[in-house]
Structure 1
């Protein structure tokens, strides 16, 4: 009490308590971090975590853990994610891809409905690397358009048409996807005559990947200079070869599709040299 303090009588003083991540609960920051790690990184569902806590002598229901996660996401992590998104859009180069995910018991939607996780990622050598995962109920182009509104840098994507509506960006296409198209065009008998064109395309593109591996550790400006000197002639030769050899392929064949993938997107494949 105050009288004890004035009289010099020994007394107990309470140390300051850290601000709890979830008000009026037993959840500590380390406990919440463990739940998140086990559920989202290790894929351990809450009902199994409930059993684990029970084995340790603590009755902690999955409903309570779920509420903790929802509160932390609402009060803390959503703000962190928003700031990470802002930092990401300050960078000049982005990698973007979307992948299918299944969501169960989503209000107003069937369990078999297609949902997508859109991933926006900084390049490897940036000072502030960010990987931003944004869930959306569909794959429409309106989702990257909304996220990238006002962005004027370079986006590295596949040839999915959903990115065509993004304004103000320079689009760079992925050479791994291009190579994969020619790999898919290889016939079962890779030693037959029909394999000659896709095999040659793969060999030409492999040379590009080999050069990229050699340039991997160079600083950006020097890498750009080396790319123009070493890779640009290879690319021009590849597209000239593709134009000459694409004629005569059946319109619905995989090889025709691979050639068209390259020829219809030539500029986007060259943009990374800028």
Structure 2
């Protein structure tokens, strides 16, 4: 089970006005949670296709087309993005006495998210049972309602409806596995540090600088996911790695955030 998201980034050395960072992560509650910030000059489908070439299974993502038709990957679309589109479709004024269709959809989604929050303490198997019993009928009814909405073509409401209908199969994958989430919020939380940082340092000068930033952020966020104090972890790496007689992949494995030795020395 994986998560993916991407965000624009500027690199002065690049001829393109906009480059990108892709954030790929596994389930944050797994035994070895990680996130990798992958720098690329493009947002094309070739990036996730190459990076995820050996990955098979469910991938939480948004509605961006680059996640479509990836081999051996089942996209799980995000209900938070559905909610956002209907929120954007709300009218500026509320003079009408009848409830607006977008408001009705938002109210129903709010109830669905509340149910999901109530089921958070349950095991994946128990949560899946509850989803099929309570959430699935609600979603089926909501799809019937949305399918009957008459919206002005190309309006914000029409775009929200089209998005909801287009990704129904991907959205309903949450009824296949109780470990799956209704949203891709994990990716957005992980990528937040990069987004906030970008507002301060604005850009990287070179490709090498952008790649170095991705490596640092990957270690930083992965250490946090594994319950480490990032400052202790980086200090530990700077002191230990230069003193190794040789640096092989096996030696590196001993210094990954979930290594027992690292856990002992760098726990938060």
For the aligned pair, the TM-score class normalised by the smaller chain equals 0.5 to 0.7
Task: Compute the TM-score of the two structures, normalised by the length of structure 2.
Answer: 0.63
1:189 aligns with 2:189: no
1:98 aligns with 2:6: yes
Gap change, CA 1:211 and 1:124, over 3 Å in 2: farther
* Structure 1 unaligned regions, length at least 5: 1-92
2:160 to 225, 247, 258: 258
1:273 to 175, 200, 203: 175
Specify the alignment match of 1:4 in structure 2.
none
Q: Distance in 2 between matches of 1:193 and 1:141?
A: 46
1:194-233 equivalences under 5 Å are 196-233=100-137
TM-superposition CA deviations, 1:131-174 (whole Å, max 9, x none): 11100101001000001113221001111111113111111100
1:1-274 equivalences under 5 Å are 93-104=1-12, 106=13, 109-110=14-15, 113-192=17-96, 196-245=100-149, 248-274=150-176
Gap change, CA 1:116 and 1:195, over 3 Å in 2: farther
Q: Distance in 2 between matches of 1:233 and 1:188?
A: 31
Find the residue that maps to 1:100 and give its secondary structure: strand
Q: Distance in 2 between matches of 1:214 and 1:207?
A: 11
Superposed CA RMSD in Å reads 1.5
Q: Distance in 2 between matches of 1:117 and 1:102?
A: 10
Q: Distance in 1 between matches of 2:165 and 2:63?
A: 12
Gap change, CA 1:165 and 1:142, over 3 Å in 2: farther
Structure with max Cα Rg:
1
* Structure 2 unaligned regions, length at least 5: 177-268
Q: Relative CO higher for 1 or 2, CA cutoff 8 Å, sep ≥ 6?
A: 2
Q: Which runs of 4+ in 1 moved over 2 A?
A: 190-195
Task: Compute the TM-score of the two structures, normalised by the length of structure 1.
Answer: 0.61
* CA-CA distance at 1:192 after TM superposition: 2.8
Q: Distance in 2 between matches of 1:186 and 1:169?
A: 34
**Number of aligned residues:** 176
CA contact (8 A) 1:173 1:269 kept: yes
* CA-CA distance at 1:195 after TM superposition: 5.9
